[in-house]
Chains A and B, each alone.
Chain A
């Protein structure tokens, strides 16, 4: 039967002399090597494979990266931002991942608030947007790069800001586009957590359904 640690403490008080450590020290290396190998197999191979197996059965779509298919071809992932540049689509946030939206090189700009490059970049983008939409304050997420460079979402404010130009490019009424945005707002999770958001790729797919 297993002995509790308290019992062990009482029974082991005798060994106090330093020279008694010597045989223990010899066996430490052997135990360390064996323990490393045994637990490496258990937690480095068996554990991830078990999780992979169960995940593949229970949540196959998520386990494979929440990919979106169109006509049998992968067009991207619901969770990963991709580049949109024409006025016919909503644009994601600017990206600092690789050369932009590089899903093998995630990352932020890491520019400091006190870095002139950051201030010039943000102010430059604001000024461009303001020239086209005078008098409307630019939602800040529209001109800042995300932490991952792959943020799939924009704020509802950002989406509404883009609505007029998308409506014009597609020959849709602005109200129809605004209604589409409203349908695609993901509220705070469980009503409180995180922030309300709009998934850009899903919104653009819905937009394509509305007008080819």
Chain B
């Protein structure tokens, strides 16, 4: 660890903090249907989309209609992507003449991008045509991000409204998110990425004649990278244009692009905490939620940075501690331009959010360093979190925290003037239980069957962690991986369901909670009301997040990374 490393963390944190308020205000204005400075340009497009798609923008939906619209749209767009993958050989923009994608992989990938996961059981540069990347995959980076934000806003409306049957119009919410937030930001930041060196073209791959041996041709994969790269981060999707994801110098060529990509991952999720405060009229609550998230983020980074800076206990004769001009530490699977600091920070950010982009190979992290991204996802990706998904995820934990505080003092719990009753807690618990249930069930099955075991790339406890990480990442809709894990039909299909359940079965209780809260009447605060804008609330919220995660997953963690750490430091390799 070095002073410069901590300075880089501090700079990232300060820039993030500076974006929270302006982004939060802008998001609130967009989602409340207020005028924004982009209206003169975008309002006609917005109206045109409503007209073309038959959307009645003035009609609001109750939670069931909202959920049905979201599920219908997701189903249609998933079939759309599946079809493009299956037909890519006959479609245009396929300069490398890549074959159609096989059925199970196409299903897995369509599910993966529809659910905002972007798990990739394939090497993109040798599997997906430019058209599939642009029209089949990058579109979902926009759609799934907009859908997530829409659900978060619907839940915030549910908290804010009283005696209301409706929680907004799904089509209006995603259209406005796409047009006013994701679209313009993507154009601007894609160009920043190109400026720094990210390619953006539709040429066939470049044939280069290397300096030392010109006859040993190097074929260099390229394509429309920047346009996909930017929304991959901004929408917390994470699906790389290349197999190596943001570790690839064409996806993140400089430390500045690395920094920008990390900020794009957090910027909407961070801003939404301010939106929460603004829309519910309790800015202090928004900041308390942000503070709880930030504490967990800083803790994760500290552990990961420390672990990755450590020398390998069994390797001798190498400079493994930092010098003024070399980062030292565990550089297997890491890029020199990122070093240890920016790699550990990226790994923490991408799993705190549900992004899943990687700028270093998590599979080669130290046991404890690699446990940090795993634990971050296990906590439900509520530390800033995925765009929208992090907000509705943390609000579930807020409901649980308020409920637990109510139990402790023996009063009916209240949240923002709403009584939290049996139905609300049931929905919150449903949300909290589906996640570990699907992960632990799939992991247990796969470590017992031969096709599950044969896909492991590393022996010993690390192999178990690879399987666990994949199902955690899938259900958490993260998409990062201990990427050594191979794929086969069983994994393709099981992971697809893992991702679909982790997305849609968790959105439904969140929307049900929104609908139920919206129709409640408001009760005035009493001396028994637990205030949700205090440091005490922040501590309680952190406690609930950590305890739920730890109680659920600690046994699995001790069989994986913890055991691996202990054995490695006792001199055992596998």
Residues of A that sit less than 8 Å from B by CB: 2-6, 8-9, 12-16, 18, 21, 24-25, 27-36, 38-40, 42-45, 47-48, 50-52, 54-56, 58-59, 62-67, 70, 73-80, 82-86, 89, 93, 97, 101-116, 118-119, 122-123, 126-127, 130, 137-141, 143-158, 185, 188-190, 192-197, 201, 204-205, 208
Contacts and interface: CB of A to CB of B under 8 A. Distances in A.
Interface stretch (B194-202, B423-431, B498-506): B194-202
A89 B213 CA distance: 12
A3 B59 CA distance: 10
Interface in B142-200: 142-143, 157, 161, 163-166, 168-169, 171, 174, 178, 183, 186-187, 190-191, 194-200
Given A75-B214, A195-B339, A44 B134 contact: yes
Contact of B325 (A80, A112, A155): A155
A107 B200 contact: no
B212 A103 contact: no
Contact of B226 (A33, A51, A78): A51
A192 B4 contact: yes
B466 to A, nearest CB: 8
Given A101-B218, A208-B211, A157 B319 contact: yes
Given A12-B60, A64-B199, A104 B125 contact: yes
B184 to A, nearest CB: 10
B573 A195 contact: no
B242 interface: yes
B202 A148 contact: no
Contact of B220 (A45, A70, A103): A103
Interface in B499-550: none
Nearest to A82: B210
Contacts of B178: 39, 43
A114 B574 contact: yes
Identify which of B65, B139, B142, B461 gathers the most chain A CB atoms within 10 Å of its CB: B139
B249 interface: yes
A73 B207 CA distance: 10
Give the interface size class of chain B.
Answer: 35 or more
B77 A36 contact: yes
Given A114-B568, A192-B4, A5 B228 contact: no
A34 B53 contact: yes
Contact of B138 (A48, A54, A152): A48
Contact of B201 (A4, A12, A63, A156): A63
27 contacts: A2-B33, A5-B33, A15-B166, A18-B64, A21-B64, A28-B69, A36-B80, A39-B178, A47-B186, A55-B226, A56-B201, A59-B194, A65-B220, A74-B208, A75-B211, A82-B210, A104-B219, A104-B220, A108-B364, A109-B333, A111-B364, A112-B458, A114-B458, A140-B318, A147-B335, A148-B244, A155-B326
Contacts of B220: 65, 76-77, 80, 103-104
Nearest to B195: A59
B488 interface: no
B210 A76 contact: yes
A41 B258 CA distance: 29
Contacts of B54: 27, 30-31, 34
Interface stretch (B288-296, B353-361, B436-444): B353-361
B243 A119 contact: no
Contacts of A65: 199, 201, 206, 220, 222, 250
Contacts of A83: 210, 212-213, 216, 218
Identify which of B64, B200, B462 gathers the most chain A CB atoms within 10 Å of its CB: B200
B333 A110 contact: yes
B390 interface: no
Nearest to B242: A106
A62 B257 CA distance: 14
A114 B572 contact: yes
Given A36-B73, A147-B359, 17 more contacts: A4-B34, A31-B171, A32-B77, A35-B53, A38-B52, A55-B226, A62-B198, A64-B222, A76-B211, A82-B218, A107-B361, A110-B333, A110-B361, A110-B484, A151-B337, A194-B254, A194-B338
A204 B211 contact: yes
B174 to A, nearest CB: 8
Contacts of B72: 28-29, 31-32
A137 B196 contact: no
Given A106-B242, A147-B247, A195-B339, A16 B62 contact: yes
B248 to A, nearest CB: 5
B221 interface: yes
A89 B211 CA distance: 10
A35 B194 contact: no
Interface string B50-85: 001111001111101100110011011100100000
B224 A148 contact: no
B165 A145 contact: no
Contact of B333 (A30, A108, A205): A108
B459 interface: yes
Contacts of B567: 114
A155 B4 contact: no
A202 B58 CA distance: 60
A127 B315 CA distance: 10
A25 B332 contact: no
B286 interface: no
B483 A110 contact: yes
A108 B33 CA distance: 46
Contacts of A157: 319, 323, 325-326
Which 10 pairs show the lowest CB-CB distances between chains A and B? A194-B255, A147-B247, A110-B484, A44-B135, A195-B339, A108-B361, A106-B244, A193-B255, A148-B244, A155-B326
Contact of B227 (A25, A48, A127): A48
Given A43-B178, A47-B183, A147-B358, A196 B247 contact: no
Contact of B209 (A48, A74, A102, A145): A74
Interface in B310-357: 312, 314-320, 323, 325-339, 341-343
A33 to B, nearest CB: 5
